[in-house]
A and B are shown apart, each in its own frame.
Chain A
Amino acid sequence: MPSEPDQPGAPDPDLVRAWLSVVAATAYVPRSAAEIEDLLRSLLGRLTTALAAEPFDAAAGSRVGELMVEGALTGEATLERSLRVLADGLADAGHGARSVAPLLAAVAAGYAAALRRRTLAQQENMKLALLTAKQRAERDRRATENRFREVFTASAIGIAITEQDGTFVEVNPALAAILGCPADQLPNRALAEFIAVEDSDELPVFGEADRRRLVRPNGESAWVYLTTSLLHDDNGATRYRVTMVQDLSELMLLGNQLSHQNLHDALTGAANRLHFQSRLEAMHGQTSPRHLLTLLCLDLDAFSLINTTHGHQAGDRVLRSVAGRLMNAVDGHDAVVARIGGDEFAVLIAHGTAAPPVSKLVEGINQELSEPEYDGRLGLAVSATIGVVRCKPSEMSSTEMFRAADAALRYARSTGRYQWAEFDAHADRAARKVGESATALPAAWENGELDLAYQPVVRLSDGKVVRVRALARTTGLDGVDSTTELAELTGLSVPLGPWLLAKSTESVPVWQALFAGTADPDEAVHRVHLSALQSADADLSATVNTAVSRAGVAPGLLEIALDTTTVLTGRGDAQDNLRTLSDIGVVTALHGFNGGPREIAMVERFGVRTVVLADPFENWRPDWLPRDAVPMRATLRLIEALESLGTSVGVLGVRDHAEARWWADQGVRTGEGPAFGGPGDVEDILARLRPTAN
Chain B
Amino acid sequence: MDAVADWVPEGIDLERPSAARLYDYLLGGAHNFAHDRELAERFIKAQPNAREIARHNRSFLRRSVLFMIERGVRQFLDLGSGIPTVGNVHEIAQQADPTTRVVYVDYEEVAYAHSTLMLADNPLATIVQADLTRPRDILDAETTRELLDFTEPIGLLMAGVFHFVPPAKDPRRIVAEYRDALVPGSYLSFSQFTRDLMPAEMDRVVEVMKSSRDPMYPRSHAEITELFDGFEVVEPGIVPTALWQPDPDLDDGGEPNRAGIYAGVGRKI
A74 touches B28 (CB 8 A): yes
Residue of B nearest to A20 (CB): B249
A28 touches B27 (CB 8 A): yes
B38-74, CB < 8 A from A: 51, 54-55, 58-59, 62
Known A32-B247, A123-B30; judge A136-B113 contact (CB<8 A): yes
Q: What residues of chain B lie closer than 8 Å to A27, measured between beta carbons? A: 28, 55
Residue of A nearest to B24 (CB): A122
Residue of A nearest to B58 (CB): A28
Identify the interface centre among B13, B51, B58, B248: most chain A CB within 10 Å of its CB. B51
Q: What residues of chain B lie closer than 8 Å to A76, measured between beta carbons? A: 28, 51
How many of chain B's residues touch chain A, expressed as a range? 35 or more
A118 part of interface (Cβ distance < 8 Å): yes
B8 part of interface (Cβ distance < 8 Å): yes
CA distance A122 to B29 in the complex (A): 8
Task: Output the least CB separation between B269 and chain A (Å).
Answer: 30
Residue of A nearest to B111 (CB): A129
CA distance A682 to B253 in the complex (A): 100
B12 touches A24 (CB 8 A): no
B35 part of interface (Cβ distance < 8 Å): no
CA distance A74 to B248 in the complex (A): 21
Q: What residues of chain A lie closer than 8 Å to B91, measured between beta carbons? A: 30
B95-147, CB < 8 A from A: 109-110, 112-114, 116-118
A663-686, CB < 8 A from B: none
CA distance A122 to B249 in the complex (A): 31
Q: What residues of chain B lie closer than 8 Å to A129, measured between beta carbons? A: 110, 113-114, 116-117
A125 part of interface (Cβ distance < 8 Å): yes
Q: What residues of chain A lie closer than 8 Å to B222, measured between beta carbons? A: none
CA distance A131 to B54 in the complex (A): 28
Interface of A is mostly: helix
A573 part of interface (Cβ distance < 8 Å): no
A36 part of interface (Cβ distance < 8 Å): yes
A237 part of interface (Cβ distance < 8 Å): no
A556 part of interface (Cβ distance < 8 Å): no
CA distance A26 to B254 in the complex (A): 11
Q: What residues of chain B lie closer than 8 Å to A29, measured between beta carbons? A: 86-87
CA distance A26 to B31 in the complex (A): 20
Residue from the list A72, A127, A132, A137 in contact with B7, Cβ < 8 A: A127
B206 part of interface (Cβ distance < 8 Å): no
A75 touches B12 (CB 8 A): no
A513 part of interface (Cβ distance < 8 Å): no
A28 touches B114 (CB 8 A): no
CA distance A29 to B118 in the complex (A): 19
CA distance A137 to B31 in the complex (A): 20
A34 touches B249 (CB 8 A): yes
B118 touches A125 (CB 8 A): yes
Residue from the list A33, A74, A118 in contact with B250, Cβ < 8 A: A33
0/1 per residue, A13-52, Cβ < 8 Å to B? Answer: 0000000110011111110111011000000000000000
Q: What residues of chain A lie closer than 8 Å to B12, measured between beta carbons? A: 130, 133-134
B112 touches A130 (CB 8 A): no
CA distance A126 to B109 in the complex (A): 11
B2 part of interface (Cβ distance < 8 Å): no
A132 touches B8 (CB 8 A): no
A355 part of interface (Cβ distance < 8 Å): no
Known A127-B9, A131-B9, A134-B11; judge A36-B250 contact (CB<8 A): yes
CA distance A234 to B16 in the complex (A): 13
CA distance A694 to B7 in the complex (A): 116
CA distance A21 to B254 in the complex (A): 11
Identify the interface centre among A24, A29, A126: most chain B CB within 10 Å of its CB. A126
B251 part of interface (Cβ distance < 8 Å): yes
B110 touches A72 (CB 8 A): no
Task: Output the least CB separation between B238 and chain A (Å).
Answer: 22
Task: Output the least CB separation between B13 and chain A (Å).
Answer: 8
A123-169, CB < 8 A from B: 123, 125-134, 136-137
CA distance A640 to B24 in the complex (A): 108
A507 part of interface (Cβ distance < 8 Å): no
Q: What residues of chain A lie closer than 8 Å to B54, measured between beta carbons? A: 28
A28 touches B59 (CB 8 A): yes
Task: Output the least CB separation between A222 and chain B (Å).
Answer: 43
A119 part of interface (Cβ distance < 8 Å): yes
A72 touches B250 (CB 8 A): no
CA distance A489 to B36 in the complex (A): 83
Task: Output the least CB separation between A207 and chain B (Å).
Answer: 27
A25 touches B28 (CB 8 A): no
B92 part of interface (Cβ distance < 8 Å): yes
Known A28-B58, A118-B30; judge A127-B8 contact (CB<8 A): yes
Known A122-B31, A130-B113, A136-B113; judge A25-B252 contact (CB<8 A): yes
Instruction: Give 9 nearest A-B pairs by CB, closest first.
Output: A30-B87, A33-B249, A25-B252, A129-B114, A129-B113, A133-B113, A122-B30, A119-B30, A28-B55
17 A-B residue pairs with Cβ-Cβ distance under 8 Å, sorted by A, are A24-B250, A28-B55, A33-B247, A33-B250, A36-B250, A119-B30, A125-B31, A126-B30, A126-B110, A127-B8, A129-B110, A129-B113, A130-B8, A130-B12, A131-B9, A132-B117, A133-B112
Given contacts A37-B249, A122-B30, A123-B5, 4 further A-B contacts (CB under 8 A): A30-B91, A76-B51, A123-B31, A126-B114
